[in-house]
Chains A and B, each alone.
Chain A
Amino acid sequence: MGVKLELTHACNLRCGFCYTDSPRHTLARTPELSDEHWLAIVDEAIAMGVLEAVVTGGEPLLRRDLTLEVIERLEAAGVGTTLNTNGWFVDDAVADRLAACRGLSTFISLDGATSAAHDGSRGVPGGWARAVAAMDRLLSRDVPVRIVHVVTPDTEPETEALIELGWHLGVTSVQMTPVVPTGAAARAGEWQVDSERLRRIARTAGESWPEMPVLTRTGSVSDGLATTRATPLGLLVRPTGAVRIESVNPFAFGNARRDGLAACWKRIVTGFDTPELMAWDRRMGVMGDYATQDVVPYLDEDVPAERPSTTAAARAAALAAPVPAKTKPREPGPFATVAGAHAHARERGLARAYRRGAIRVSGEHVRTPATGSISRLNATALTVLRACSPGTAGDAADALAAAYPAEPRERIERDVRQAIRSLLARGILRPALATGDAPATAEGTVDLPY
Chain B
Amino acid sequence: MPEQDEVAYEAPVVEELSVEEGPASVQAGNIQQTNL
Contact = CB atoms under 8 A, between A and B. Distances in A.
A419 B28 contact: no
A interface, over-half SS: mixed
B17 to A, nearest CB: 5
Given A362-B24, A379-B10, A374 B17 contact: yes
A416 to B, nearest CB: 7
Nearest to A368: B16
B5 A404 contact: yes
A363 B23 CA distance: 14
Interface string B23-35: 1110010000000
Contacts, number: 69
Contacts of A428: 14
A419 B2 contact: no
A378 B24 contact: no
A403 interface: yes
A12 interface: no
Interface string A233-244: 000000000000
Nearest to A402: B2
Interface in A364-399: 365, 367, 373-381, 383-384
A406 B2 CA distance: 12
Nearest to B21: A374
A379 B7 contact: yes
Closest CB pairs A-B (n = 8): A419-B12, A381-B12, A365-B24, A422-B14, A403-B4, A380-B12, A404-B9, A374-B24
Given A403-B4, A405-B2, 17 more contacts: A365-B24, A374-B24, A375-B15, A375-B16, A377-B14, A378-B12, A378-B15, A379-B10, A380-B10, A380-B12, A407-B9, A415-B11, A416-B12, A418-B11, A419-B14, A428-B14, A450-B28
